[in-house]
Amino acid sequence: MQTSAVTDLAHTHARPVHWLATATAMAGVVALAGLLQPGPAGATAAPAPAAAPDAATARFPLECGGAPSKIAQRATGDLDGDGNPETVAVVHCEAGSGTPPSGIYVLTHGKGTGKSAGGGAARVVATLVDPSELTTVSGFAVRDGAVRATLLGYSSPDVPSCCPDRKEQVTWRWQGGSFVRAAGAEARAV
């Protein structure tokens, strides 16, 4: 006697209940896959670089006899290698006439203000040129972690203040916890 193959495979006939169970299982798998998705891909944002100290907020150790001081030039750069910029300012007294001597000051953020934008007043941490040296600054830049300047001065008190007769190119670099001044051939790149 021969048996039909159809009767042996009777369980393979799809009924509506089978389709409903399959559709429900597939919907569950799709929903679960949606919940287990990884987060959005992308690079993490690097922290914003710190803002340089604002020279306009600093109090400079400059005696102007009641006249205001003037920030003639300013530049920023990371001078001590800590990843945060310092500001270097060339400042002199606001004179009605003549050429007042300049001071060059290194500024950092005030204590307790952090190194971010919107902090408190900048503070002077180093004086590179004191106005008592009676020099003026003609060239000035902060590059490659160094302060570079051209200083104009006088060889004697007899030289008229209108006409400096001495010119010196100098560079300051942060070394061993202080600014070291180099002059002459090493500083000629100004």
Q: What is the dihedral of CA 75, 78, 84, 88, to 10 degrees?
A: -30
Q: Pairing relation of β-strands 178-183 and 146-153?
A: unpaired
pLDDT score of 171 more than 60: yes
Domain ranges of the chain: 55-187
Q: What's the half-sphere exposure (Cβ side, CA atoms, 13 Å) at 155?
A: 4
Q: List pLDDT tens digits, range 7-59.
A: 555 555 666 776 666 767 676 666 666 666 665 555 555 566 678 999 999 99
Percent of the chain topping pLDDT 90:
48
Specify the higher pLDDT residue, 163 or 44.
163
d(CA 137, CA 117): 29
Name the H helices within the chain.
5-8, 16-35
Q: Pairing relation of β-strands 69-77 and 86-93?
A: antiparallel
**How confident is residue 188, by pLDDT bands cut at 50, 70 and 90?**
very low
Q: What are phi and psi of 49, to 5 degrees?
A: -65, 150
d(CA 172, CA 15): 89
The beta strands (E) that lie in the chain are given as 69-77, 86-93, 102-109, 122-129, 136-143, 146-153, 166-175, 178-183
- Which range has the worst mean pLDDT, 35-39, 71-75, 96-100, 176-180? 35-39
